[in-house]
Copies of this chain bind each other. A is one copy, B any other.
Amino acid sequence: MSDLLERLRGRGWRMTAQRRVVAEVLDGEHVHLTADEVHARAVAKLPEISRATVYNTLGELVSLGEVLEVSTDQRAKRYDPNAHQPHHHLVCAQCGAIRDVHPVGNPLKDLPDSERFGFTVSDVEVTYRGVCPNCAAA
């Protein structure tokens, strides 16, 4: 969204064609892409963009809190543009499809002090695993 580009410009981002393209890719489809998938789509719009730039830009977007990094499998990190609404993930164990979900309740409350071992717990990440309708049908 140009919203995103505006916010970034406001934070002193130097605007370049490459960064614009990466932002467009993330904004265009609300899915969970890997860095290399982002790169592939960026290349389609701007053939000379390099892999390092995509990685750098994604890293910056994560630091700025505009995009979330999620690791639902232990292969590639995925990037979730839905950073402004807290949510968790539901992953198909067979095809890897990912859906954003919003469980009720607050799992942070479910961790008693006696189970915190002196840690300052600030965040919790919940990943549900199962089989999606497509894979169940097959």
Contact = CB atoms under 8 A, between A and B. Distances in A.
Interface in A102-138: 102-105, 107-108, 110-112, 115-133, 136
A111 B115 contact: no
A118 to B, nearest CB: 4
B102 A115 contact: yes
A112 B104 contact: yes
Given A74-B71, A74-B74, A74-B77, A124 B120 contact: no
Q: How many residues of A sit at the interface, in one of the four size bands?
A: 35 or more
Contacts of A121: 90, 128-130
A120 B130 CA distance: 5
Nearest to A78: B74
Contact of A125 (B99, B111, B127): B127
Interface of A: 69, 71, 73-74, 77, 90, 92-93, 99, 101-105, 107-108, 110-112, 115-133, 136
17 contacts: A74-B77, A103-B107, A103-B110, A104-B111, A105-B105, A116-B130, A119-B128, A119-B132, A120-B130, A120-B131, A123-B128, A124-B127, A124-B128, A125-B126, A125-B129, A126-B126, A126-B127
